[in-house]
Structure 1
Amino acid sequence: MVIINFAGKKKKEGQGMRLGKYELGKTLGEGNFGKVKLAKNTDSGKLYAVKILEKNKIIGPNNVDQIKREISTLKLLKHPNVVRLYEVLANKSKIYMVLEYVNGGELFDKISSKGKLKEADGRKMFQQLIDCVSYCHNKGVFHRDLKLENVLVDSRGNIKITDFNLSALPQHCREDGLLHTTCGSPNYVAPEILANRGYDGATSDIWSCGVILYVILTGYLPFDDRNLAVLYQKIFKGEVQIPKWLSPGAQNIVKRILDPNPKTRITMDMIKDDEWFKEGYTPANPEEDEEEDHVHIDDEALSIHELSPRSEQESPEPPTLINAFQLIGMSSFLDLSGFFEKEDVSERKIRFTSNYSPKDLTEKIEEIVTEMGFGVQKKNGKLKVVQENKAQKSLGSLSVAAEVFEIGPSLYVVELRKSYGDASVYRQLCKKLSNDLGVPPSPR
């Protein structure tokens, strides 16, 4: 049985709060669904990380599915380089995931503070990463959000992969045998995912592993740009600059992994057969026990319909609306299916993707904004949407520039930039354009 309902006197959240046999301590991290706290088993004294999920913040069936998927996936995976899930506790308002505590922090922080690793140390981490991801694939699990932030490091320098709430299983594939949900993190996402035509989960995970290897060995990202359209163009082309000071073996494996063509990209078996990779490689021994592989998660424990009133000790908060670049659980989520990205607090720049051609986009944008009562000015291949008509005061004054970028075959980014005007009118315009012209959400 995975879900255990418990009862106990509720204390003010913070150090000393009891959760069954666990005593909760400091907060390790926060996400949209809740917090991760350090916890100590009062019987054994062992430390754990407890992920606390607020049910009233898990909005929508997709997010419920993500939580259920993460729990069932973690119960399935028993590898020394995967963060272990030991048990799940639940009451009417919260879900508590008791996880292995990894005391070395994120690999991201390690690279950020100390820079690139020595090649031998980087190879050891990469060997563990490939060993672990290959194990997951053999179990039918595709992570789909591999990045430095989701790789933890323990006190002995060994890695632990975490955050499987965007993972996919074979049943998530369509009839063509491919996955179609666009997800991942911008700098790590494979080009075939951006193409929005279906992708192989194993092949796209390998690409992300290649990005991680590149950062480990160089200290910086292979594909990076503040402008998303430019970033995606770089990823599609796969034009990565590999430093000459890397050993020939390291240069070769990075080049073979970061191949923009998924059909010719190196496979897991080919990576494990690579001479540079094999140096000092010792495969891990996953734990196998008699527990049932496919764990059933009690739907009642994850219900978000009839929630009990929140404790008087907790301040009421409205439900959090999840957007494309906010934290989900403890990981970033990218959904190119009609997403908004906040460039700054004033929302002066917003982007969405579209499959319409630049010519059709220009015509349709002009048609839509005209119907909304705005005027359109054309200059140097750009559109400028304006509203200065005093007779249309309900719309307010507004000046917005629209530009289209090509990031791949039949895939474009529309960028809307506000020069001045009412923020609510601007959001109304952006919502209308993205809903009518954006890429429709892909079913899972």
Structure 2
Amino acid sequence: AAATESAEGGEVRGAAASQTSDSNVVAVEEVIAARGSIPISSRYTTTRTLESEYIIEKKVVGSGMSGPVQLATGIDDNQKYAVKSFKKKGLSSRKRQELKSEVEIYLSLDHPHIARLEMVFESEEEIDLVMEYMAGGELYDRLSKCKQYTEALAADTAYQMLLAVAYLHAHQVAHRDLKLENFLYEKKETNHLKLI
């Protein structure tokens, strides 16, 4: 599959390039046909709304090309999530294709060291991506606060990073924005890293 640059600035590979509808960016049927290994169709909807399933909080937990990444709480499970929203109006065909590719690839990924795309809500106006919330912060921030970093902890950190990258490469995906800021800790009290 051809490589494209993701909406976050990194290149991604994989997922079919054609669209099934002029109004929908994501072609979930193509992702299921191409990957099919994990439940995908249940994590994508054009009929339900973000607000019907999540309470969006005022807290901004990050930023991206689309703007702020906001904290949300699941109504059914009371869990915390990170939400990225993209307005479809005004997206160039190139940016639309990048977003399509990023979402379709993310839907197909399932690895303990890659942050999970939990849900995609697509309407005529926008796409909302509900991501696993990584409460532990960035690897970069944790390293900058450390006065000492043991060899064992450094080895474990590098191992987790390489597991994520190896998984992507095994699935023909090139992240192309690998940096310490894109590796996040699951919780403040653990050393479990995930790539975003």
Aligned to 1:410: none
Q: Determine which of 175, 191, 194 is the counterpart of 1:143.
A: 175
Q: Name stretches of at least 5 consecutive residues in structure 2 with no aligned partner.
A: 1-40
Secondary structure in structure 1 of the residue aligned to 2:137? coil
Aligned to 2:36: none
Aligned to 1:316: none
Aligned to 2:123: 91
8 A Cα contact 2:81 2:130, kept in partner: yes
Task: State percent identity of aligned pairs.
Answer: 32
Gap change, CA 1:129 and 1:30, over 3 Å in 2 = closer
Gap change, CA 1:136 and 1:37, over 3 Å in 2 = same
Aligned to 2:54: 22
Q: What code does the residue aligned with 1:94 have? A: E
2:73 is aligned with 1:40: yes
Q: Measure, in 2, the Cα distance between the counterparts of 1:5 and 1:139.
A: 27
8 A Cα contact 1:78 1:84, kept in partner: yes
Q: Name stretches of at least 5 consecutive residues in structure 1 with no aligned partner.
A: 9-17, 163-444
- TM-superposition CA deviations, 1:19-73 (whole Å, max 9, x none): 1111011221233313211111111111111111122363x22222221121111
Q: Determine which of 45, 61, 66 is the counterpart of 1:4.
A: 45
How much does 1:116 deviate? 5.7
Instruction: Summarize the alignment of residues 77-116 of structure 1 with structure 2, pairs less than 5 Å apart.
Output: 77-114=109-146
Q: How many positions carry a matched residue from both structures?
A: 152
Instruction: Summarize the alignment of residues 238-253 of structure 1 with structure 2, pairs less than 5 Å apart.
Output: none
How much does 1:145 deviate? 1.1
Aligned to 2:103: 71
Instruction: Summarize the alignment of residues 32-431 of structure 1 with structure 2, pairs less than 5 Å apart.
Output: 32-56=65-89, 58=91, 60-114=92-146, 117-155=149-187, 156-162=190-196
How much does 1:4 deviate? 1.5
| Aligned-CA RMSD value | 1.9
8 A Cα contact 1:32 1:57, kept in partner: no
Gap change, CA 1:35 and 1:54, over 3 Å in 2 = farther
Q: Which has the larger radius of gyration?
A: 1
How much does 1:146 deviate? 0.5
Gap change, CA 1:107 and 1:122, over 3 Å in 2 = same
Q: What code does the residue aligned with 1:5 have? A: T
Looking at secondary structure, tell me which structure has more strand per residue.
Answer: 2
Gap change, CA 1:114 and 1:69, over 3 Å in 2 = same
Secondary structure in structure 1 of the residue aligned to 2:106? helix
TM-score normalised according to structure 2 size = 0.70
8 A Cα contact 1:79 1:132, kept in partner: yes
